[in-house]
A = this chain, B = another copy of it.
Amino acid sequence: MNINPVSILKEHDLKHTKQRVRVLEEIALDSVAISQPDLEKKLGKEIDRVTLYRILNTYQEKGILHRIMDMNGTANYAVCTSSCSEDHHHDEHVHFNCTNCNKIYCLEVEAPRIKMPKGFTAKTVSSIAYGICEKCNAI
């Protein structure tokens, strides 16, 4: 993922701190979403646990990160595409959660439009496919 943490922070009126930059860098390393526990393991010595929580919440609210819940209710984070904003997350693509390695992929597949019943108004739709990923299938 090719992002510039500093300019992302500026765009969203967030103060430039080394912890915030570090978190964004770490998450952007991989196109695969990273789980909160894994992030903690990687950053645990550099960034306080509580700070990490707060940074992740801020990023999610600002539309900088997607939060994808896996089957166990664990939060996973990935960098949003540039079109996301505070009031509208454009994460209408499909996520894929491998039931073997538990990785979450952002597929380049548009989430299909779903017709809502009368009275219901949908703002966003999250589709998660569960199965076996590329790598695990190859083994």
- Chain A, interface size category, equals 35 or more
Q: Are A121 and B131 in contact (CB under 8 A)?
A: yes
The stretch among A11-19, A20-28, A71-79 that forms the contact with chain B is: A71-79
Is residue A82 contacting chain B, with contact meaning CB distance below 8 A? Answer: no
Which of A1-9, A38-46, A48-56, A107-115 interfaces with chain B? A107-115
Copies in the complex: 2
Which chain B residues lie closer than 8 Å to A71 at the CB level?
67, 69
Question: For A122, what are the chain B residues with a Cβ–Cβ distance below 8 Å?
Answer: 96, 129-131
Nearest neighbor of A107 in chain B, beta-carbon distance: B117
- Asked whether A80 is an interface residue with its Cβ less than 8 Å from the other chain, the reply is no
Distance of A71 Cα from B120 Cα, bound (Å): 18
Given A69-B69, A73-B74: A119 and B133 interface contact (C-beta under 8 Å): yes
